[in-house]
A = this chain, B = another copy of it.
Amino acid sequence: MTWVTGADGSPYGVTNLPYGVFRHGEREPRIGVRIGDFVLDLAGAEAAGLVLAAGALGRPTLNEFMALGRPQWTAVRRRVTELLTDPAHRPAVQPLLAPLDQVRLLLPFEVADYVDFYSSEHHATNVGKIFRPGQPPLLPNWKHLPIGYHGRAGTVVVSGTPVIRPTGQRATPQGPVAGPSVRLDIEAEVGFVVGVPSPLGRRVPVDDFADHVFGVVLVNDWSARDIQAWEYQPLGPFLGKSFATSVSAWVTPLDALGDAFVPAPDQDPPVADYLRDVPHLGLDLRLEVWWNGERVSQPPFAGMYWTPAQQLAHLTVNGASLRTGDLYASGTVSGPERHQVGSFLELTWGGAEPVKFAGGETRGFLEDGDSVTVTATAPGPDGTTVALGEVTGTILPAR
């Protein structure tokens, strides 16, 4: 129970408490925690001595706080919970609350490296069927390791940032042409944010996942399918992805998701030792994809073949170091059913089966002016629900 008006019973109650960075009026950007429809100014709270975090809460990004490590993350979360539940703190804390509609949310952390995985068996199978009909949809390596690649960290943007339609080359029957993408798509994903770094040359075992990963964001990895299809052989996606990757403004700490861990799908064939996680746990995050205000899909994250702990262990098995602010995304989240897919490529089966909106309009891929929002919820303690914010963007015409 919190004394903050309207927060109890909301999916942003005291069992959630996600972190973000906000600007309020003319003040400098600062770290806050969401409670109900308010944001608690943690920089102000630390300056007033209400919470202690070695000054890290007074910074304009979460990076320094995320670098402190799990004991500090847990201590700050416990203290914030006290401040928001014990009415004795209300006189001191109330002035540090700002209504959400009066603040602007910023990119919550400085992205170090961005890695994108490809860990939904349903998604990889669908893509294989669409692009390589008549062949085995999964490549031979897919069940042996979590396939991934590096994306562009500098074009990770916060939810709400408009997405300018990218220009590039695409193949046509008359040869390649350059121009605005005509197959602009989304990828609904879940991202994991690294707080605690690791040194070069030392792998991070699956068991150390929670020592390094601070929390979770929602990700929309916008994708120009035509640019991607022409460029991606043999070195993978490049300009078809690097124009923009949107993340939610709220980083949900792992501590808020304790009730969301569920057994992940069995893996057959057995995985290599360094990928064996016991228990083998995924997260029961229920995504929703909204296209121009209509819900078009409900991808279930619980069914992902590779778990976030396995992804982290794989990412570092070659000795690659981690930095604070590293972001790794799950890959498109798709379930077994058509209404559970995380891309419009799958939803419209390569554009061949357009989506019909209630108003009668149809869509294959994204048109200028279209908006897409991805949301997610997870089970919290005692029957509560934890919301993971949203990641939204509107397409602007090519320049």
A171 to B144, CA, bound (A): 10
B323 touches A154 (CB 8 A): yes
A169 to B11, CA, bound (A): 42
Total interface residues in chain A, CB < 8 Å: 60
> CB of A8 within 8 A of chain B?
no
B239 touches A236 (CB 8 A): no
> CB of A149 within 8 A of chain B?
yes
Question: Which of B147, B154, B167, B242 is the one whose CB lies under 8 Å from A112?
Answer: B154
A149 to B230, CA, bound (A): 14
Stretch at the interface among A197-205, A206-214, A283-291, A366-374: A197-205
CB distance from A241 to the nearest CB of B (A): 9
B238 touches A149 (CB 8 A): yes
> CB of A266 within 8 A of chain B?
no
A140 to B16, CA, bound (A): 51
Chain B residue nearest in CB terms to A128:
B234
B231 touches A141 (CB 8 A): yes
B141 touches A244 (CB 8 A): no
Which residues of A116-144 are within 8 A (CB) of B?
A: 118, 139, 141, 144
Chain B residue nearest in CB terms to A181:
B318
CB distance from A132 to the nearest CB of B (A): 9
CB distance from A130 to the nearest CB of B (A): 12
> CB of A348 within 8 A of chain B?
no
> CB of A155 within 8 A of chain B?
yes
CB distance from A117 to the nearest CB of B (A): 9
A113 touches B152 (CB 8 A): yes
A184 to B166, CA, bound (A): 37
Instruction: Find chain B residues with CB under 8 A from A240 CB.
Output: 318
> CB of A357 within 8 A of chain B?
no
> CB of A160 within 8 A of chain B?
no
Question: Which of B150, B224, B318 is the one whose CB lies under 8 Å from A149?
Answer: B150
Question: Which of B167, B171, B314 is the one whose CB lies under 8 Å from A239?
Answer: B314
A243 touches B154 (CB 8 A): no
CB distance from A180 to the nearest CB of B (A): 10
Instruction: Find chain B residues with CB under 8 A from A178 CB.
Output: 272-274, 317
A178 to B276, CA, bound (A): 13
Instruction: Find chain B residues with CB under 8 A from A314 CB.
Output: 239
Question: Which of B153, B232, B319 is the one whose CB lies under 8 Å from A236?
Answer: B232
Given contacts A154-B326, A155-B321, A239-B317, contact A230 B141 (CB under 8 A): yes
Chain B residue nearest in CB terms to A203:
B167
Question: Which of B176, B319, B399 is the one whose CB lies under 8 Å from A243?
Answer: B319
B118 touches A235 (CB 8 A): yes
CB distance from A304 to the nearest CB of B (A): 16
> CB of A58 within 8 A of chain B?
no
Which residues of A322-372 are within 8 A (CB) of B?
A: 322-323, 326
Which residues of A148-190 are within 8 A (CB) of B?
A: 148-155, 157, 164, 166-169, 171, 176, 178
A57 to B118, CA, bound (A): 43
Give 4 nearest A-B pairs by CB, closest first: A236-B236, A166-B318, A149-B235, A150-B150
